[in-house]
Amino acid sequence: MSDAKPSKSDKGKSGSRKKRRWMKWIAIAVLMALVLYGISQLALMFWMDSLPEDAPRIAFSVDDTWLVEFGIMTSSYEQAFARAGGRLVSFEFDEAGSPQVDLKRVEALLADRQIDGVLLSGGGDVDPKLYGGDPEKAEMVNRIRDDFEIALIQAAIERKLPILGICRGCQLLNVAFGGTLRNLRDDEDLKDAHFTFSGHGVNITEGSVLAEALAVTQLENVHSFHGQAIGRPGTGLRIVATGDEEVAEAIESDSDNEDGWIVAVQWHPEMALSDEIQNKLFSAFVDRARQARQRRTSFGGDSQNDISTSSTPHTEN
């Protein structure tokens, strides 16, 4: 048996082979991502083309984190809503003033663009200054976006439009109503359980609006990517779903009548387009938006109605 050790040239060749192999796998992964993105865009075009002219119009402000640069979040939201029969209408954060947001301008935007519902999508952390949290522990904060979306919530409620929050949107909605958030990153186990590609299960309160929309009280696995979660529920809101270690996974308004519909979840149902159960959430929301559209058009245009002050969100600055 030879005791000869590999020469430097042999080691160099081995390293080169490993590098080429890694480059090959990276190239394959990029190619697959591009193919999947192309397929998703074709699917989106199909669903968008199939939408009727009078499809409910859903306002949303686009995710401002690095994911938006790849079109990942926007495309998945658009496809999910198009399949449910709704048309997304994007808003820029500074359209109603910067750094101060003008509520009247937000109300005018909703009227001018004939909005029938509001989506609060994912993104960075909500500014801790809005709920007494620790600013040092927050990531990717955009206060202009926070203020704009809080004004959007206020305007939507005044116009009796349904609101759906997803991930960051769930957290912001709670803060807008005077609630607080907890930082899951303080606990390594909680962080790993709720910010993961593997996902986790969710238990839903029986009889809740969310349970009725999904027609189930348990989801075996949801896509979960959040470092914060609901702490104390805001006034008029209640926790209606929990995940690992009883972390809040959904909230909704205490009062659900024919005019009001406010539901928010911590997970990302738009990333589960093949899941018929999770897709029901978008369908339920779009149905409510369609009712709001019918009320609006039945008066020959936009109309604003009063709501009880108990449903008015918190406006702390």
pLDDT of residue 223: 83
- Token digits for 127? 């500014």
- 195-204 sheet: strands from edge to edge: 87-91, 57-61, 117-120, 163-166, 262-265, 248-253, 237-242, 195-204, 218-225
Q: Which of 194, 200, 226, 268 is catalytic?
A: 268
Other CB atoms within 10 A of residue 197 CB: 7
CA angle 124, 249, 176 (to 5 degrees): 55
Q: How confident is residue 69, by pLDDT bands cut at 50, 70 and 90?
A: very low
As its CATH architecture, domain 57-301 has 3-Layer(aba) Sandwich (3.40)
Residue at 26: amino acid letter: I
Q: How confident is residue 303, by pLDDT bands cut at 50, 70 and 90?
A: very low
Q: What percent of the chain has pLDDT over 70?
A: 73
CA angle 217, 58, 231 (to 5 degrees): 45
Strand duo 181-183 + 195-204: pairing: unpaired
3-state DSSP assignment of residue 163: strand
Q: Which of 149, 194, 270, 314 is catalytic?
A: 270
Q: Which of 22-31, 196-205, 254-263 is the most confident on average?
A: 196-205
Give yes or no for residue 235 having a pLDDT over 50.
Answer: yes
CB 141 within 8 A of CB 124: yes
By CB atoms closer than 10 A (0-12, 13-18, 19+), residue 244 is middle
pLDDT of residue 54: 85
Q: What is the pLDDT of residues 244-288, one digit of tens each?
A: 888 999 999 976 555 679 999 999 998 888 889 999 999 999 999
- pTM to 2 decimal places: 0.78
Phi/psi for 137 (5° steps) reads -105, 5
Give yes or no for residue 308 having a pLDDT over 70.
Answer: no
270: annotated active-site residue: yes
Strand duo 237-242 + 248-253: pairing: antiparallel
How much is the average pLDDT of 93-115? 90
Give yes or no for residue 8 having a pLDDT over 90.
Answer: no
pLDDT of residue 315: 46
How high is the mean pLDDT of the chain? Answer: 81
- Token digits for 78? 């658009």
Give the residue carrying structure tokens 């109603």.
Answer: 96
Extents of the domains making up the chain: 14-50, 57-301
Q: What is the pLDDT of residues 125-151, one digit of tens each?
A: 999 999 999 998 888 899 999 999 999
Q: What is the pLDDT of residues 202-225, one digit of tens each?
A: 999 999 999 999 999 999 988 888
167: annotated active-site residue: yes
pLDDT of residue 99: 85
How much is the average pLDDT of 233-237? 95
Give yes or no for residue 115 having a pLDDT over 80.
Answer: yes
The least confident of 65-69, 179-183, 233-237, 297-301 is: 65-69
CA angle 307, 57, 159 (to 5 degrees): 10
Q: What is d(CA 126, CA 142) in angstroms, rounded to the nearest whole number?
A: 7
How much is the average pLDDT of 155-181? 95
- Of the candidates 127, 227, 140, 139, which has an alpha carbon nearest to the alpha carbon of residue 175? 127
Provide CB contacts within 8 A for 283, sequence distance 6+.
84, 85, 213
How much is the average pLDDT of 302-317? 45
pLDDT of residue 37: 53
Q: Which of 78, 167, 194, 249 is catalytic?
A: 167
pLDDT of residue 103: 93
Dihedral class, residue 85 (left if φ above 0, else alpha if ψ from -120 to 50, else beta) = left
Between residues 50 and 244, the one the model is more confident about: 244
Phi/psi for 67 (5° steps) reads -65, -30
Q: How confident is residue 75, by pLDDT bands cut at 50, 70 and 90?
A: confident
How much is the average pLDDT of 289-308? 68
